[in-house]
Amino acid sequence: MKSRKQIDLVFKEGARINIFPLRVSFILEKGSGDALQFGVGVSGKLFKKAVDRNRIKRLTREAWRLQKTELDTLMKDRSNRFSVFLIYTGKELPAFVVVKEKMALILQKLISIANENSAANT
């Protein structure tokens, strides 16, 4: 996610999920275009070194990339769009295994939210 307007919209109007050490803000919209938009943020106060912040972002993006296929196909089939922004809230550098487990939980919640939303619209 690169658009400042889209990021602001996700934080102002979107819903939130907290699964420690990640806080997820998301918005589900009707429309064409990219089925999934994704962004990651890490606090500069908690991690002073850019190397550490960048590592956390890389781990998070990789966990997302490896596990997003089910959500992606669901969104494309229903011609919906999910805009998701993750913020890492932990205080120490995570292992990839931990990030991957938490990302799996987040994606399952997003899939269930998408299913509930489609059931409500039909």
Q: What is the pLDDT of residue 122?
A: 60
CATH code, domain carrying 107: 3.30.230.10
Average pLDDT over residues 58-79: 92
Considering the domain boundaries, does residue 117 fall inside one?
Answer: no
User: Distance between alpha carbon 119 and the CA centroid of its chain, in Å?
Assistant: 22
Q: Confirm whether 13 is domain-assigned.
A: yes
pLDDT for 119 beyond 80: no
Domain around 9: 4-112
> Is there a domain that residue 122 lies in?
no
pLDDT at 34: 77
Please give the Cα distance from 99 to 79 (Å, whole number).
29
The tally of domains found in the chain comes to 1
Within a domain: residue 30?
A: yes
Residue written as token pair 């939980």: 105
DSSP track, 4-16: HHHHHHHHHH-EE
pLDDT per position as a tens digit, 3-18: 899 899 999 999 999 9
Query: Among 37-41, 46-50, 70-74, 75-79, which is the least confidently predicted range?
Result: 75-79
| Residue 49 belongs to some domain of the structure | yes
Q: What is the pLDDT of residue 76?
A: 86
Give a yes or no: residue 95 inside a domain.
yes
Continuous H helices in the chain: 4-13, 50-67, 69-78, 96-121
| Of residues 59 and 115, more confidently modeled | 59
* pLDDT, average across residues 67-74: 92
| 52 lies in some domain | yes
> Does residue 97 belong to any structural domain of this protein?
yes
Task: Specify the pTM.
Answer: 0.89
